[in-house]
Every structure is written in C-alpha cells, then in structure tokens.
C-alpha cells in the first residue's frame, strides 16, 4: 500500500479525544494490547485535552522516532484492491453470526498471505481480541486481509479481487459485526471517501446492494499505524469496545 494517512488526517475532535475511566479489568485488557496506561484511576476526574496530550508527551521515550503514517487511499471504490479469503481466527462450531475483521495488510513478496496471527501486526491483533475475550468462546472471528493490487495478479494461491472475496466468501458468514482496520477496507466496504480519523467512531450499516447488506460496521486504524503510534491504541480500544457492544446487542 503506497498511500498513507497523514497525522493531519486524524481527527482531533472531542469525540476522538476519549479519556476512558477504566476499572481494573479494562486496564488489564489494555496492558495486553501494549497500551501505556496514562489514564486516571477509577472515579478520578477526566483531565482536559491539553493535559492528556501533555501526559502523552511525558510518557514518550526521549529518543522516540518521528511518527510515521499508515496507508492512505483517496477513493472509496474497490478497483485495484485485492484480498485473501476469510480465515477463521477463533471460535467454536458456529460458522455464522460472529465477527468479521477486514484489515489493511500487505501480502508477502509472492503476493500471498501466511499465518494470520504471525508478525507484529498479527500479534497485536491477537492481543486486541484476547483483551475483548472473544478468543476462546463460541463466537467465530474471521479475518480478511486487503491491500492495493498494483502489479499483483489474482490466481491460484494469490489474493483475489475484494468484491469477489466479500461476495463469495464473506456473505455466508452473516457477521454480527464488521470491523475494518484501515482506510482501504473502510472506504471499500462503507463506500465513503475520507481519512480514517473521520470514518471511525460511528457505526454504519453496510450498503443494501452489497454482499453483507445491513450488517453494522465500524472503522478503526490500521494495525501498522498502531504499532508506530502507540498513543492511538486508546482510540482503537474505544472502537473495539463499541464493536463488541454492537455484536452483543444485535
């Protein structure tokens, strides 16, 4: 993926500056995700936005590298996007009604995908799902990885066009919640342009003429971006909690 979401594209609205009041269990979950726990203890008054930003600066290592940006897409169309087939990450015997995660992740040098939970991105995703406690239950969790096609050709063992994967592979899953991690996945599924900072934070129903018509969907940040910008994991955690609430209540 050659495009990137610049820091300026990440919204700084009141909604985005969540400061969560965390009980002991949620603090433990965040530690699994590698989130620096700079939030106040339970019942403490939430700090101002300026105080939060100051705390984040103080918590950062003095030799921290400059913040890098995740991939950006400028169009909501699916042209040129490729994906692998859905991979089951967790879940029991049930084949439908669980989570579908569509994540912006590049393939290997041969254009294919390996172990879904390998590498830094895979380990971060696994920790996120374990923090939500959806890794050991009966609710199925499936993953589809997408990327911008470029010169990669779709064929045996290679990524397939996104509309083909979503139509033939994902629709039978009948997910209760669709979570997109990254701008390519979000824009393609929601059919909306814009930076990920503006697409996240609000649940939307997938288009009625699509393969998963009406399924609730939430957008959040790409895994590669979260690895380089640890302070944003708090916002990603808020997105995950919102997705879990939707999955439980639908």
Please state whether the predicted TM-score (pTM) of the whole model is above 0.85.
no
Which range in 8-17, 55-64, 116-125 is most confidently predicted, on average pLDDT?
116-125
One-letter-per-residue 3-state SS of the chain: CCCCCCHHHCCCCCCCCCCCCCCHHHHHHHHHCCCCCCCCCCCCCCCCHHHHHHHHHHHCCCCCCCCCCCCCCCCCCCCCEEECCCEEEECCCCCCCCEEEEEECCCCCCCCCCCCCCHHHHHHHHHHHHHCCCCCCCCCEEEEEEEECCCCCCCCCCCEEHHHHHHHHHHHHCCCEEEEECHHHHHHHHCCCCCHHHHCCCCEECCCCCCCCCCEEEEECCHHHHHHCHHHHHHHHHHHHHHHHHHHHC
Summarised one tens digit per residue, pLDDT across range 71-128 is: 333 333 345 788 888 999 988 677 788 999 999 998 887 777 888 888 999 999 999 9
Q: pLDDT of 171-182, one tens digit each?
A: 889 999 999 999
Provide the residue ranges of all domains of the chain, joining segments of one domain with +: 1-151+159-250
Pick the CATH number of 1-151+159-250 from 3.40.470.10, 3.40.50.1700, 1.20.1630.10, 3.50.50.60: 3.40.470.10
């Amino acid at each position: 993926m050659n495009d990137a979401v610049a820091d300026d594209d990440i919204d700084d609205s009141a909604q985005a500056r969540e400061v969560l009041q965390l009980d002991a269990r949620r603090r433990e979950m965040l530690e699994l995700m590698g989130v620096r726990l700079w939030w106040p203890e339970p019942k403490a008054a939430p700090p101002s936005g300026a105080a939060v930003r100051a705390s984040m600066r103080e918590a950062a290592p003095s030799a921290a590298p400059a913040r890098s940006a995740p991939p950006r897409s400028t169009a909501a169309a699916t042209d040129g996007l490729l994906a692998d087939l859905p991979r089951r990450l967790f879940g029991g015997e049930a084949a439908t009604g669980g989570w579908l995660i569509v994540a912006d992740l590049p393939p290997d040098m041969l254009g294919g995908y390996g172990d879904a939970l390998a590498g830094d991105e895979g380990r971060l995703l696994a920790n996120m799902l374990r923090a939500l406690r959806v890794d050991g239950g009966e609710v199925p969790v499936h993953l589809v990885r997408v990327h911008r096609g470029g010169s990669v050709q779709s064929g045996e063992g290679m990524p397939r066009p996104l509309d083909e994967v979503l139509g033939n592979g994902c629709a039978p899953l009948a997910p209760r919640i669709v979570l997109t991690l990254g701008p390519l996945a979000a824009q393609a599924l929601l059919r909306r342009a814009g930076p990920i900072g503006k697409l996240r934070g609000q649940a939307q129903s997938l288009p009625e003429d699509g393969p998963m018509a009406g399924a609730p969907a939430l957008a959040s940040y790409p895994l590669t971006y979260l690895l380089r910008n640890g302070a944003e994991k708090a916002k990603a955690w808020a997105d995950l909690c919102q997705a879990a609430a939707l999955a439980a209540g639908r």
